[in-house]
Amino acid sequence: MLEQSIFDDLEDFFDSIPDVVRAELSLLLVALADDPLVDTKDPHDYDRSARELFDARGRLGRFGNLIYALGAFDVYFAADPRERFGSATPRLENTTTQGDNTGPLRGRYADRLAAIDMARGRWQTLRQTSLTPEAIGAALLPRLGSAPAASPHARLATT
């Protein structure tokens, strides 16, 4: 079923991305939700709170949440991750340990950038394949028959 595949693809993507990226996306989803029902008592469990946003019971509610997540993910991955570190970038470039440029701060920065870049590539592939606007539209508004019914206006134009 096309509809379930779309939801499964998004869930598989979210589950398989590096923890640091999933944590940032979860925080973004929760922050954008501004939903009083989201439990923010434990600030370290944004992943659970983000997943709770997608517990809609109805079909249209699930699609609404899907579209919300797609928009948030698109914005997240459109941003340049190097700009997030702002003024820290020059300091990271100069961080040295024993004369080389592989200090722990630089390593953490490089690891995070690599994780975001890897997840961005996978996201772009999904958005070009199974999570295209056309695929979501087809799942949301399936055809009611094999051929569209001719409108009365079209019949008048041919007579």
| 79 within some domain | yes
| 138 within some domain | yes
| 157 within some domain | no
Question: Residue 19 belongs to what domain range?
Answer: 2-143
pLDDT along the chain (159 residues), means of 10: 83 93 90 65 70 78 89 94 67 50 62 92 96 91 55 45
Cα–chain-centroid distance for residue 137?
17
Q: What is the pTM of this model?
A: 0.71
Asked whether 119 and 9 are in contact (CB, 8 A), the reply is no
| 3-class secondary-structure state, position 155 | helix
Sole residue written with tokens 């941003």: 79
Which pair of structure tokens corresponds to residue 97?
């340990």
| 148 within some domain | no
HSE (side-chain half, CA atoms, 13 Å) at 121: 6
Question: What domain count does the chain have?
Answer: 1
For residues 19 and 112, what is the distance between their CA atoms, to the nearest angstrom? Answer: 10
